[in-house]
Chain A
Amino acid sequence: MNTDFTHHQSAHCENGVASNLLRHNGLNISEPMVFGIGSGLFFIYLPFIKVNHAPAISYRPMPGLIFNRLAKRLGLKIKRQKFASESSAAAVLDENLRNNIPTGLQVGVYNLTYFPDEYRFHFNAHNLVVYGKTETDYLISDPVMQNVTTLTHAELNKVRFAKGAFAPRGQMYYPIQIPAHVDLKSAIIKGIKATCNVMLAPVFIVGVKGIKYVAGQIKKWPKKYGTKKANHYLAQMVRMQEEIGTGGGGFRFIYAAFLQEASVILNNEKLKELSAEMTVIGDLWRDFAVEASRIYKNRSTQNDAYNKVSDQLLHIAELEGAFFKKLKNAIS
């Protein structure tokens, strides 16, 4: 079984799967568009949840949310299924492939054999598309990879039933209904509004306030936890921000690309200016990563270095605070 599916590489897995599946179904929509309309830009700091033995910091919303919001805002219907048993999960997937439906799956990363070993962590919010099946293998389009790849039947079962936080429980999804005409303009405006609201939310661990809070905490890390642990925390933060899937700068560059595309569709010059501004902010996030990497590379203990990255982060938070206010005004 083999469906006629075209693979496009993307920066982030969920946007990529959404964009690839929709393109396959005749709705030509880019990855930044999916990300922007689905309000993918986010920041949350959860010090009481530990990921890889460091406080959880996320630059994206809960898995599945981007695609769901996109579907709602464009009026698409997506079918999502979870399964109690591996055999029924495999049977339903096979049935889909027989009906020529490429299918999106939520999977765990740890057993994805085509990933470099260093990238295999227990992270369960990865997404890929299965577009065919042979005697031994499933044909896989993983949007963060340059080319299509394969997993054996047993391997795919394993990643679909990975355990831990966000366990996928075999989750599969695919669009079942796409309207002939979609209203991109109003969807873009809704997407931008929601992003502004969450980034400016009056909650101390979310959005711009969350970034400010982390900046304050970073200063205290070396004293509170010792150099080693503080360095580990900082390294984990940079990984969340820059690792495959973010497109760099904690998704800021993808978002800037979205704003540029949106400025053309909405015929709004202001959005183009704001796109350039977001690019500058993205570059500042990159500078923060460079400075942070110096700290954990040298294993340096000077509080000075921690104060410096903390100030960088505060500066970013201030710029973003002003930015999202301007963005909100630009579309209202």
Chain B
Amino acid sequence: MPDIIQTIIGKYNYWIYITLMMIGFYAIIAKNNLVKKIIGVNIFQTAIILFYVSIGAKWGGTIPILQNVHGEGGAGAATHAIKAVDYINPLPHVLMLTAIVVSVATLGVALSLAILIYRRYKTLEEDEILARIREK
């Protein structure tokens, strides 16, 4: 029994992130409206980014900006030794910065496509669009 409690305390964060991903995934496959599908895509993207950034978190670490190194030239070593265990892992932050900006670019393109579809078929519901395509 204490083993299960230990597992839950160690990993419940991952389970909540997976629930968020599944909410976004459900919106993509089961909703009829196009704008709801686009919202689902964005929820999925941000949940994955949250999952990835949480891998780099450390208990007792501080933000990844080096302290006590102002005023040093680049060629000399810092007066305080920089220990990697004090700072949280900066590599997931870098990769996910790219992912966030790419997600807003694809949001712009997806909304442009939705406006074009509305201009052509006068509706945004997927079943009505399929019906109007079939009767052409």
Are A and B physically bound partners? no
Using a CB–CB cutoff of 8 Å, the interface residues on chain B facing chain A are: none
